[in-house]
Amino acid sequence: MGSPVKHSHGIFVTGTDTGIGKTVVAGGLALALKEKGIDVGVMKPVETGCQLHNGQLIAKDALFLREVCGVSDDLALINPYRLPDPLAPAIAAERSGVKIDMDVIRLTYLGLSSKHQAVIVEGAGGLLVPLTDRYFMADLARILELPVLLVSRASLGTINHTLLSLNYLQQAGLRTIGVVMNRSTPENGIAEQTNEEALKRLIDCPFLGTMPFVSVINRDTLLSAFTNNLDLAPILEYLKSA
Which residues are annotated as catalytic? 44
Nearest CA to 116 out of 63, 53, 71, 85 is that of 71
Interstrand relation of 56-58 and 207-211 (parallel, antiparallel or unpaired): unpaired
Cα separation, 231 vs 187, in Å, equals 23
CA–CA separation, 58 and 93 (whole Å): 16
| Other C-beta atoms lying within 10 Å of the C-beta of residue 224 | 14
Q: Decide: 136 and 97 in contact? Cβ < 8 Å.
A: no
64-91: burial string, b at 16+ Cβ within 10 Å, e else: bbbebbebebeeebbbbbbbeeebbbbe
**What are the Cα distances from residue 119, in Å, to 2, 108, 122, 164, 229?**
20, 11, 10, 26, 22
> How distant, in Å, are the alpha carbons of 70, 79, 124, 222 from that of 65?
8, 10, 14, 12
As a whole number of angstroms, the distance between CA 237 and CA 242 comes to 9
Strand 118-126 with 10-15, pairing = parallel
